[in-house]
Structure 1
């Protein structure tokens, strides 16, 4: 998800620091002076939770904060709804200063603006599934019939129809987390805070929950702040990712930027073992559109091909992409036939791939084709191409070596041995 330059962030964090200990304000001076987290702990007994965090989170995106244990990611998310008070800094939600809210305002903010999904589910054992889901609405003072209706809707939405009268203890871990997710969604809060929400689940259930979150987000367009220690999960879910280390942001950007352009050795160590074919989409690695032939006659096609200085092109008719046409096949036609229409027999059948497809899904077609594959968008329009060379480069550790000055690859290059 790309952010239009004119779009305003929904959540803005500036100069956020958190020092745990009785003399936090005094120790903060040492943090700002550049002393390390380990030094401050040994010298003062204080723990640096966060150091100069600056983030913008935009409406409708899944913003993932990831890092190892002790990196500060859970501390950060708890600042958004002031479960933890900062030592210094600014947190704004829709340009309102969260840190300036009084007790009643903060209570309303937590009830209506943000919902939280916890790692250990946080369900009340003495309440049924339906009652757990409706709990946030009960706190808001919503009429019982209305909250039951809403709770039942979200119960069904997360795939738990028929479980409404059961108690949490009789549910599996995955089912309990679905209840937690439904409870968070039921309040219609604009922002979801998800703190290691899936990390307590076994891998299969975790994957299913990721699928469900992606599916729900396509419909709901919530703003989600998702905390995880798992890079594969971050790459799969995140529109953008911030990586924390010792309370500091070491890199933030889109998944493809994190994966292909790690900011330092720490991030590079994170990404080196990631299966890129399962993490990157065609759109993130495709090259710009190749020669496009839209002429109706053979003569016009030859003229187009020569002006573009290509030896092949993607033939586009009123019905969209039709196949690949080569300069050789055009020039084999007698000049007296230049006024004739381009026949299907002149085209090579090269399959198109969708921009949002994972690389893993298009590897066979890419390797089997002599020509790079055209990449089409959701409207069926050709917007780029994917070659065997590009695929080989991205899936190896060669980086960007072998490109010419334009950043393009020689067309039809074979997969490196």
Structure 2
């Protein structure tokens, strides 16, 4: 993979003649001290982050943390005061910090699109014309831009509403129009500034699912601002948590939940729903912690269930109450309907906690986890309980 957006030691300061504020930043002064001394507001301070092609990077933080200020610097809405902000343009990277007006216009019209929180639809234009508006600005002919706009409306399930005006649509439908408009531009990079925050929870959850499905089809690079951690954990490939204009921690959702870098992040993730982020590898009890009897390892002593491995660590057999258990290798194409009560499922350690719980409920048995090299662990009820209670997983003796 390669970076679609590379941000290096970036400062964004709002105001005229920002150099005195930048000098104070270099001296280690706080945002409040800089406001008091200069009247300038520090929106982003010393931010460094890379967003890889095809990923969804979520900028998280409380109100005023700098997440929207950083997002808007990517397409030049907020000018860069110091540092570099490189955005991919074909085979080259354009520095948005110092590009000329023509280059900036090119990047906004062909490389970077934005989806706003307030929809930003033009009320006098039809849904179709709203989606096609950016294409019109590019000089694309009417027939072609309407064809492309209709294609994107079909993609978001609004083709039958093409002739309607925005006020005739619900909030969730209007947000879909905003998504269709951004996708119609066929930009490589999408900037999304809290696009679902004004919507009802059920509609919001539905649009999150739809965004993930669209991303699987289109594989865009998305930078997404949110103040909702569960939303970030659900949709983000990586998350950057911001506080007081600085990026505090950047990493995969599971890593941030399991290894918060400081008390601020720890408090931030304390009440998150583990079902949305944790994987089997983080939950499992390792084979070395299981009770052994000769070549057999205990699944559940009360139920008298066991399994055995060959010398290479591959599963040989499994039984409960001295009766052999049916084995099922869980794949991405597998369905819960394929499973029966008493089926022992073998899955990848990358299985989600939610899916593993569903398998456990369907089969009534623990879930074995296997890599190419062999079995590595098991997910039992106590492992799920530990995760739901926010305990540190896999550290207690079994």
Give the TM-score normalised by structure 1.
0.79
Task: Determine if the alignment matches structure 1 residue 174 to structure 2 residue 172.
Answer: yes
Contact 2:60 2:228 in 1 (8 A): yes
Give the alignment partner of residue 395 of structure 1, picking from 365, 388, 392.
Answer: 388
Cα deviation, residue 315, structure 1? 7.1
Q: Which of residues 240, 246, 249 in structure 2 aligns to 1:248? A: 246
RMSD: 3.1
Higher CA-based Rg? 1
Residues 314 and 325, structure 1, Cα contact 8 Å, conserved in 2: no
Structure 2 match to 1:14:
8
**How far did residue 256 of structure 1 move?**
0.6
User: C-alpha separation between the residues in 2 aligned to 1:59 and 1:157?
Assistant: 22
User: Paired residue for 2:113, among 102, 112, 115?
Assistant: 115
Deviations 1:143-167 (A, max 9, x none): 2111111111110110112100001
1:415 alignment counterpart: none
How far apart, in 2, do the equivalents of 1:192 and 1:314 lie?
A: 50
Q: Is the 8 A contact 2:240 2:249 kept in 1?
A: yes
The answer to whether the 8 Å contact 1:20/1:46 transfers is: yes
**Cα distance in structure 2, aligned partners of 1:156 and 1:139:** 22
Cα deviation, residue 400, structure 1:
4.3
* Cα distance change, pair 398–284 in 1 and its aligned pair in 2 (3 A): closer
Per-residue CA shift, 1:248-289, capped at 9, x if unaligned?
Answer: 011111111111111111111111111212433435534667
Q: Which residue of 2 aligns with 1:386?
A: 379
The structure with more strand, counted as a fraction of residues: 2
Query: Are 1:290 and 1:385, in contact at CA under 8 Å, matched by a contact in 2?
Result: no
Once the two structures are TM-superposed, the CA of residue 369 in structure 1 deviates from its matched residue by: 7.9
SS in 2 for 1:235: helix
Distance in 2, matches of 1:266 and 1:242, equals 13
Maintained 8 Å contact 1:323/1:349 = no
Q: Does 1:42 align with 2:32?
A: no
Q: Find out whether 1:213 has 2:206 as its counterpart.
A: no
Number of equivalent positions? 366
Runs of 5+ consecutive residues of structure 2 not aligned to the other structure: 299-305, 328-341
Q: Comparing 112-121 with 96-105, which one deviates more in the overlay?
A: 96-105
Q: Matched residue of 2:344: which SS?
A: coil
The answer on whether the counterparts of 1:323 and 1:350 sit within 8 Å (CA) in structure 2 is no
What residue number does 1:86 align with?
A: 80
Corresponding residue for 1:158? 156
Alignment correspondent of 1:334? none
2:334 matched residue in structure 1: none
